[in-house]
Chains A and B, each alone.
Chain A
Amino acid sequence: MKIIIVGAGEVGFHIANRLAHENKDVVVVDINQAAIRRVSDHMDVQTVIGSGSSPVVLEEAGLKNAEILLAVTDSDETNLVACLAAKILSPTTKKLARLRNSDYDKYHDIFRENSPNIDTIINPEIEVVKTIDRLMKVPGAVDIGEFSEGRVKFVGILLEKDARLAGTYLSELKEKIRGQIPLIAAIIRNEKLIIPRGNDRLLPGDYVYFISEENSLLNTLAIFDKHVEPLNRILIIGGGSIGFRLAKLLEEQNLNIKIVEKREKQCMYLAEELNRCVVLHGDGSDQTLLSEENLHDMDIVVSLTNDEEINILSSLLAKRMGARKTITKINKFSYLPLMSAIGIEQVVSTRLSAINSIQQHIRRGKVLSAISLKGEQAEVIEAVALESSEIVGKPLKTISFPKGALVAGIIRKEQVVIPSGNSMIEPDDRVIIVAKRKAVQKVESMLTVKLEFF
């Protein structure tokens, strides 16, 4: 399977890296030599130096027999033109473009469905706002994904020291909990991902990922001692495009929002566009301003400026001054492992969101969504079980799943089944599979129709 990635920036780099590890044929195109060098030094992919919007360069990259073209440069125009050129040169290639400019928002759906030369449009800013919204609604969640149009949630939480379940073996869960047992899909301990079995323990400080139906989510969270807290007062630091989008979304939900923005002009714009939200002109790391605005009473502080260091510092400051919860936007992946060490748990990233939404489109089989877990060590895939694929019609225990992969849930019509060894997957069920990076490739081939190989 050959994939051409136009743009070797942070998004392109990480997607290329992941795909190269899965033994896919990846060609990365970028005009910047330093960026290309970084790619060719780090991974086993082919590189082409040149503008991704040039048909000559795309041809040189082998577009003719590529299955997918990902246009993920920082420039929307380049991405659009790259897809257009690709459409002309190779109509059968699936084309994905990343568009960031908020001007496209209004036309997002039209573009996605009607644009003749693009198969899918990814707008990471929209995705990030959605993620923030979800994180706010679920108490204690550090990571959250949705499956089956939001009916099933995939939630990651930090297990506190005084939580009831701290120290419990998974096999003992039945005795400790009355009612339905949550399906624990993964544990991250000391930056290492564990696909848990009965003899694994939940330790304080672990990040625990589980799957739950939407309507029983709060009960499940209660098991982990995460309780719903009233959500009313929100402070947004940074009124750029993401901040604005978020404010607009939250305004519709009748919440009390304050937004701090440094640039005066942008403040004017925000004040004009937003109606109930309080627009404050000032620096997000200015302590006097923050305490003047009752930061200590805030339920959530969201730091969304374009400067990651300021975001981190603002969040730390807000926590120290008494805000209950913070959400921080960070783009540099190298910072992510540091975050839990300095006490920042809820992190969002436009790039990570972009990668997540691109992912589902590059998986074979009928994959509906795919979410990567912290540090890209594993992936959660939701896919339709095709009638002729290997996993259908047999009890789970007889299927030889690759090491490091687990069926975490089966969605049959409207119901979520927590699978056991005897459960069977029926055709047209949706399965949710957690797989470590090494196992992803095998899982992918299990999901595809067997006939595809002949």
Chain B
Amino acid sequence: MRWRYIAYLVGILAVFLSLSMILPLLCSFYYKDQSALPIIKSIVITLVSGSILYLFFHKSSIETISQREGMAIVATGWTAVGFFGALPFYFGGETGSFVNALFESVSGFTTTGSSILTDIESVSKSLLLWRSLIQWFGGMGIIVLSIAILPFIGVGGMQLYKAEVPSPVPDKLKPRIRETALTLWRVYLLLTLAEVLLLMFGGMDLYDSLCHTFTTMPTGGFSTKNLSVAHFNSFYFDMVIIIFMLFAGINFSLHYQLLKGKPLALWKDSECRFFLFTVFLLTVVVSFNIYGSVYEKIIDAFRYGAFQVVSIITTTGFATADYEQWPEMSQVILFLCMFLGGSAGSTGGGMKCLRIMLCFKYCYNELFSLIHPHAVTHVKIGGKRIPEGVMKSVLGFLALYMGLFAFCSVLLAGLGVDFVTSFSAVAATIGNIGPGFGMVGPAENYAEMPYLGKWLLIWCMLLGRLEIYTVIIFLVPEFWKK
């Protein structure tokens, strides 16, 4: 383990992060709010610490890095970025204690969208922009971004990429990792631009459309309004955001193919079909469930039902309605949606559709071989056989995910949080969704969580964003052995 090299890369990330703070600073000058000084302080601290690490360790550049080191770099990188990203909130004073600021920042970078802010609208515009911006960075991945724009990370980029974007079936769009990262970011940028324009077309001002787009595309879910998207109360905005949440929940390499002129790319992909079909089915069930009991008109039931289902299933976490007032069945469905998540290779969190799909197929195969003991069967996706090793790691992932969910829920309940809240808070953070049920429902927030509970949930968010393995590996003693 070459810690010097890891420190060097963390230094680069910090320098890079400090530069990105210039945007909220400009915003602060523009709106003349009081956040300029806190942001400048944060820039200085981040830049200085980053430069020190960089200058101190920059001679340690090496040829290749191992998979283990790749994981260590990504995990420490994300932790460091979460820490530095918290500085503007901390100096700004709205969050109170540092753990709150850290919670907000990690919730941003991991695209969770859980907040500890009770009155969002009282926070200065520049800090809210920063809050949205970090979600946007976190969505496609800060490491992927660094690979795309910093040429010197090209060394060992593949290991870093695998640690940050751990897809069950890795696919590389371009022969080179840097090209792949650039392509993904271009697609991301293009979709972002499209959403901003569509929102502005509907009459939202530039600032709000930017902030909401920055949190839709990464399936983050931070809003600049206390009531989230419900604030705008507009059918048009709801629909635009639903569509872009769906886009964000689909594998970005499919979008790339779509842009390359293959209109059927989305439909040809079995995971994408599964994802869209699930969304459609659940929307119909939830809409009929709330039709009559909550909403008088069918169109309203559909509008709110669809928004909430899409928002939770893509792990965005925007709210247009307080779903805790809905019938129990809808609530249970939404809770289960938290585990489902978007497609592999999307910006969504959760377990990912692909894994669920593979798991279903695997179970079916098991049943099938009980009926035909001599049958030879393979788990296939899109007509291609899934290798045994991949299947094993998927099952391992699902087991680990559920195990950690159970373990963290017990811990949280042990800290004095009630039954529903402990389950849903852990599910909502480990799946990077945002709002949960009970004390942390769409109308409330995470401010009332106990001190240690916040630390636990911060860890859960990182766990979920980096897909368990990259973070949990630090707890395995074997990892530290030389």
Contacts and interface: CB of A to CB of B under 8 A. Distances in A.
Binding partners A and B: yes
A42 B66 CA distance: 9
A25 interface: yes
A33 interface: yes
Interface string B173-194: 0111111000000000000000
B64 A42 contact: yes
Interface in B203-250: none
Contacts of A23: 176
A269 B387 CA distance: 46
Contacts of A41: 67
Nearest to A66: B175
A39 to B, nearest CB: 11
A26 B175 contact: yes
Contacts of A20: 176
A27 B175 contact: yes
Interface string A339-364: 00000000000000000000000000
Contacts of A130: none
Among B64, B158, B175, B176: residue with most chain A CB under 10 A: B175
B378 interface: no
Nearest to A45: B175
Interface in B66-100: 67
A44 B177 contact: yes
Contacts of A42: 64
B438 interface: no
Size bracket of the A interface: 10 to 19
A386 to B, nearest CB: 28
A42 B174 CA distance: 17
Nearest to B389: A33
B67 A25 contact: no
Contacts of B175: 2, 25-27, 45-46, 62
B380 interface: no
A13 to B, nearest CB: 14
Contacts of A43: 158
B387 A46 contact: no
Nearest to A61: B175
Contacts of A47: 172
Given A25-B179, A33-B387, A46 B172 contact: yes
A115 interface: no
B154 interface: yes
Contact of B158 (A25, A26, A33, A40): A40
Contacts of A45: 175-176
B139 interface: no
B341 interface: no
A403 to B, nearest CB: 16
A452 B160 CA distance: 35
Nearest to A25: B175
B69 to A, nearest CB: 13
Among B154, B157, B176: residue with most chain A CB under 10 A: B176
Contacts of B172: 46-47
B176 A44 contact: yes
Interface string A19-57: 010010111000001000000111111110000000000
Contacts of A46: 172, 174-176
Among A33, A41, A44, A62: residue with most chain B CB under 10 A: A44
Contacts of A44: 154, 157-158, 176-178
Interface in B38-77: 64, 67
Interface string B160-177: 000000000000101111
A25 B174 contact: yes
Interface in A312-331: none
A72 B154 CA distance: 27
Interface in A46-93: 46-47, 62
Contacts of B387: 33
A25 B176 contact: yes
A238 B64 CA distance: 39
A80 to B, nearest CB: 25
Nearest to A62: B175
Contacts of B154: 44
Contacts of B176: 20, 23, 25, 44-46
A251 B179 CA distance: 55
Contacts of A25: 174-176, 179
Nearest to A37: B389
A45 B157 CA distance: 11
Contacts of B67: 41
A353 B280 CA distance: 60
A27 B387 CA distance: 21
Contacts of A2: 175
A26 B177 CA distance: 11
A23 B154 CA distance: 10
Nearest to B384: A49
A41 to B, nearest CB: 7
A452 B172 CA distance: 29
A42 B176 CA distance: 13
Interface string A256-297: 000000000000000000000000000000000000000000
Nearest to B180: A46
A53 B154 CA distance: 32
Interface string B92-110: 0000000000000000000
A40 to B, nearest CB: 7
Contacts of B177: 44
20 contacts: A2-B175, A23-B176, A25-B174, A25-B175, A25-B179, A26-B175, A27-B175, A40-B158, A41-B67, A42-B64, A43-B158, A44-B154, A44-B157, A44-B158, A44-B176, A44-B177, A45-B175, A46-B175, A47-B172, A62-B175
Interface of A: 2, 20, 23, 25-27, 33, 40-47, 62
Closest 4 CB pairs of A and B: A25-B175, A46-B175, A44-B177, A46-B172
Given A25-B179, A27-B175, A47-B172, 13 more contacts: A25-B176, A26-B175, A40-B158, A42-B64, A44-B154, A44-B158, A44-B176, A45-B176, A46-B172, A46-B174, A46-B175, A46-B176, A62-B175
